[in-house]
Structure 1
Amino acid sequence: MKLVFATNNQHKVNEVQSLLPETITVLSLKDIGCTENIPETQPTIEGNAIQKAQYVKEKYGYDCFADDTGLEVNALNGEPGVFSARYAGSQRNADDNMNKLLENLADKKDRSAQFKTVVALILNGQQYTFEGICKGTIIHEKRGDQGFGYDPIFMADGFTETFAQISLEEKNRVGHRGKAVQKLIDFLETKI
């Protein structure tokens, strides 16, 4: 089975590829010649994932899956949420985003948060969605150099290290994207 993963984020491609069985070949947007920025204009994480998958199917004709992820912080009423990648501006800089989040949480006692990923799949003309959630805490300073995005300031419940300090295998096991992708894999294995 060949599927397009509708992302230009090589970190995401690597994470997902490491989870998929050999019977599923993943093509990147680059592999299919898609160089434009795919719109993400929906007000929800699920909506953006669906929008990206539909775009690839409509414009390129491939069965595909897309994901969207947001960090939802309780004390900030769910911010940055759907705006996680561009929380500090359109430059989409991870350090700027983390700095803004830490600044906005400076006077907050509740630092609980969750990462939420929704994977949207379009396969044989049908649409499916799979959700993964990882609950945790936003720590006070950046720690670690693995991962990407908010990983250096997010510590999953039950851990003493941030996502940027644990291995990719461990992150995939407990993380939001890993959980959503595992649901996708379980579904795809019924279709192979």
Structure 2
Amino acid sequence: HFEALLGLTNLASVDDATKNRITSEKGGVRALEYLQFSDHELVRRAATECMTNLLPHPKVVEHLRDPEKIKLWVGFSEDYEADFPTARAAAGALAMAVGLDDEELTETLVNKSACIRAFVGLLSCGHPELVHRAGVGITYLADIPHAVTKLKKEGAVSALKKLVKAAKKDPTKWAAVQGVVAGALEAVEAAKEADPSE
């Protein structure tokens, strides 16, 4: 399974026609989803990376609209100490998903999952690649008033401010994500929160 998944993962990032072909084959997204539960770490990782590369294909978006399925993605993103590459892929998929213009998916990510908590938690993980993905996701969330309220309650502003300071102290480590972090902080601080009466 692993070698085939590696090939699919690479093909999934080629173009929309290839994404259509992969998702329309027998099993398609469902087969990849099944392989995300494999006992074999490399198979699990390759399936997750493949699904990430298939975004924003409608069948993958449909998969991510399910709150139960998002739990797995959030769990993978938070498990960076055990499996960093899978966490990186999952966090990237969540960040891309938040940026898609899909009302049902946004509802799932903001109100029916722990995605916001995961993004804020990743800000303090110490891995620039995960921080970058969390920062991108948070920047997208700053356009959604209900999400802004939750981001602030989860401590996003203080976590982002700590990262801005850390970037000044250790520019070599944080140079690649400094702009994303500063942009996310600016976006959240300037964003309008949800009206409590809504």
TM-score normalised per structure 1: 0.26
Structure possessing the higher relative contact order (Cα contacts under 8 Å, 6 or more residues apart): 1
| More helix as a share of residues | 2
